[in-house]
């Protein structure tokens, strides 16, 4: 049987980067997948002038792919501005991990959403700042992937004989 996970995934899973939670963060992103119940919290430190993410940590209660995706996304966005970080898609995360099995793609989406949620929180804490349009667009999408909406499209897995 072919291995389910690539070496990159296993490596990030075994040695997760930037795991934990930043004390007194500038932004917190809490996201979850209603289907599997996995949860991810992204905390960021942001340099006010440049809006650069100077530090980022994750806490993920979830599967190996979600942990590897969180670890990868923190490496991808650290040192980037919020505007640049928001461009990091789940596809980029998957590429960095050398691929994910199709049933695990949604785990990488969680990582992308975690960044958007942290950015949203950052701008909510700074109403005086203008949200860049591309960031706003991502935040709007976040609202559309409402957990309840996702629940509706998932057919029941329960089969009775």
Q: Which residues bind ligand FES (CB under 6 A)?
A: 33, 36, 38, 62-63, 65-66, 104, 107, 110
Nearer to ligand FES, 17 or 83 (CB): 17
Chain-centroid distance, C-alpha 146: 15
User: 43 or 90, CB closer to ligand FES?
Assistant: 90
Q: How far is the CB of 5 from ligand FES (least distance, A)?
A: 12
Nearer to ligand FES, 137 or 151 (CB): 151
- What is the Cα–Cα distance from 24 to 50, expressed in whole angstroms? 19
| Catalytic residue, candidates 68, 73, 107, 119 | 107
- CB closest to ligand FES, residue no: 36
* Full DSSP string of 133-150: HHHHHHHHHHHHS-HHHH
Q: Which of 6, 11, 16, 36 is catalytic?
A: 36
Beta strands in the chain (DSSP E): 27-32, 39-47, 52-61
Is 63 catalytic? The answer is no
Known active-site residue 107: yes
CB of residue 25 to ligand FES, shortest distance in Å: 22
Among the listed residues 65, 79, 56, 77, the one whose alpha carbon sits nearest the alpha carbon of residue 12: 65
Closer to ligand FES by Cβ: residue 38 or 121: 38
Q: For the purposes of burial, counting CB atoms within 10 Å of the CB of 115, is it exposed (0-12), middle (13-18) or buried (19 or more)?
A: buried
**Active site amino acids:** 36, 107
């Amino acid at each position: 049987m072919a291995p389910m996970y690539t070496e990159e995934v296993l490596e990030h899973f075994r040695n997760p980067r930037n795991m934990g939670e930043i004390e007194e963060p500038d932004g917190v992103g809490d996201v979850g997948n209603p289907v599997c119940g996995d949860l991810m919290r992204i905390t960021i430190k942001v340099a006010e002038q440049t809006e650069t993410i100077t530090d980022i940590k994750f806490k993920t209660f979830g599967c190996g792919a979600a942990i590897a995706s969180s670890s990868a996304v923190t490496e991808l966005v650290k040192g980037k501005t919020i505007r640049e970080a928001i461009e990091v898609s789940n596809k980029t995360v998957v590429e960095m991990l050398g691929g994910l099995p199709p049933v695990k793609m949604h785990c990488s989406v969680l990582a992308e959403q975690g960044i958007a949620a942290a950015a949203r929180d950052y701008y909510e804490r700074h109403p005086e700042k203008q949200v860049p349009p591309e960031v706003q667009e991502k935040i709007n999408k976040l609202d559309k992937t409402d957990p309840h909406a996702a629940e509706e499209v998932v057919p029941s897995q329960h089969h009775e004989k």
